[in-house]
Structure 1
């Protein structure tokens, strides 16, 4: 049965993180919460087209950008392969976990989720509820995860980002200063500098565990072709002693590199080739060297155009500097979310160096 109302707590406006979202992101989050078709588990079909028509001046591009940003900040989790989207803290914040009959339905519909990524996140959320039935459901959704200890089980009244304020003691450690991790029991791994040559042999992973890891790899990789062959190569690499997390991190770096240079699809390595050549060890974190357009015309106009294009490389060259990209947070997943992260990072860098760039441009114009 479709819902007739949505629950948005008034204290949402006391949440500094939620207030830190831009208007489109806040609008999108509330739009998701108030969809009649969202399940009691917080899962809804990914339909950005219809959502873009919920407001007269909204566009598909703005909806997709808002969703990508919300995903990067862990308000939602999206699996484009299965077409499913999860509002991460829905069950706890919508009152689902405190209503026996409704919560029973939520556990049932959670089991019907197809995405392995969403199932793992749902399991983590259920472990925070902490009841016996929630823990049993979590074990079925993600049987490979360790059972929660009493220290990590949270009360069903705990809150989180978006439509409520989470207690400070319950918040997870942040990785690279952006967004939140899925679990709240420990630190999220981060991607740093160049690829470390140190590898650890994977502990005899089960087929199901390898399938889950491959699903993460597939979601991160920028060209999705020959999936069956890629699964075979991925499994061979893991069996051969390469940590699955190392491969996934490498795929995220490659996707970020491809997004920054604007590489055409035909020039992106197909997954089987990338895996067969061990490209997870490629060092791609350095800034891309490109021919930057020379400053012409009004300096303010030129700088504004560079900001719009997120072309921090061009501005850095004016300053005689080198633009160094920040490390990509491990939880920023998917081509769109990665592109948003790089674009936002470049624009912030330009804003921080605006005055110095204007002075250089004025000096060059007067010479």
Structure 2
């Protein structure tokens, strides 16, 4: 089921990290949050070609989207795993507010289970750990994350390390996923930066996006 709205806190304009971003990165953040296919966990399929077509600027190119995405990832507003063609809006669950509604728990848990990237699952787990909720609610929302992280072989004490790796070119083939992955594969391979996996956390405070 596609979403009809996206929730953005007005306190975002008090976040110095956000207001210091270039306008292209700010635009992309709003575009990501309001995508109809964003999941209840804040995850989308990486689709830079489609996003590049959302403006009337004929100079807009998928590589420009990847540049803006890298800026957002560097500031920890998003997590990106090119190997699974997934993008996570880090604070989506918190600002969407669904975790406060027991009727939404099932949808959030299902969305989390559908995430393929162990790195993004670890970021989601950190975010859920910072939310004001009972432990049993956390367990309901994210019950299988440890197994997913273990499969990646990067399990540390509590969470795996989240690495930022930028290479001159893409050396590993980008999988062609049947559900939207093919749109990203060709442009990812042509992206000179070869952004492989970016993600992380920032401190949670009032106004933090």
Q: TM-score, normalised by structure 1?
A: 0.41
Which aligned runs of 4 or more in structure 1 are off by greater than 4 angstroms? Answer: none
CA contact (8 A) 2:2 2:36 kept: yes
CA contact (8 A) 2:73 2:79 kept: yes
State which of 117, 139, 142 in structure 2 corresponds to 1:138: 142
Against the structure 1 CA distance between its residues 24 and 117, is the aligned structure 2 distance closer, same or farther, given a 3 Å change threshold? same
CA distance in 1, matches of 2:26, 2:48: 15
How do 1:1-367 residues align onto structure 2 when only pairs under 5 Å count?
Answer: 1-57=1-57, 58-129=60-131, 130-131=133-134, 132-142=136-146, 209=150, 211-213=152-154, 259=168, 335-336=194-195
Which stretch has the larger CA shift, 23-32 or 119-128? 119-128
**Partner in structure 2 of residue 274 of structure 1:** none
Q: Which runs of 5+ in 1 are unaligned?
A: 145-207, 215-243, 271-333, 339-367
**Matched pairs, number:** 169
CA distance in 1, matches of 2:4, 2:151: 41
Encode CA deviations 1:173-195: one digit per residue, 9 max, x unaligned: xxxxxxxxxxxxxxxxxxxxxxx
Encode CA deviations 1:233-285: one digit per residue, 9 max, x unaligned: xxxxxxxxxxx97xx98xx7xx66x64xxxx78xx8x9xxxxxxxxxxxxxxx
CA contact (8 A) 1:127 1:138 kept: no
CA distance in 1, matches of 2:137, 2:54: 37
Offset at residue 139 of structure 1 (A):
4.5
Encode CA deviations 1:194-223: one digit per residue, 9 max, x unaligned: xxxxxxxxxxxxxx6373329xxxxxxxxx
CA RMSD of aligned residues (A): 3.0
Secondary structure of the residue aligned to 1:3 is coil
CA contact (8 A) 1:84 1:115 kept: yes
Q: Which runs of 5+ in 2 are unaligned?
A: 173-192, 198-209
CA distance in 1, matches of 2:143, 2:100: 20
Against the structure 1 CA distance between its residues 337 and 117, is the aligned structure 2 distance closer, same or farther, given a 3 Å change threshold? closer
CA distance in 1, matches of 2:8, 2:150: 36
CA distance in 2, matches of 1:210, 1:4: 35
Higher helix share: 1
Offset at residue 106 of structure 1 (A):
0.8
CA contact (8 A) 2:48 2:65 kept: yes
Secondary structure of the residue aligned to 2:152 is helix
CA contact (8 A) 1:68 1:337 kept: no
CA distance in 2, matches of 1:2, 1:103: 17
CA distance in 1, matches of 2:147, 2:150: 9
CA contact (8 A) 2:82 2:196 kept: no
Secondary structure of the residue aligned to 1:86 is strand
Offset at residue 2 of structure 1 (A):
0.9
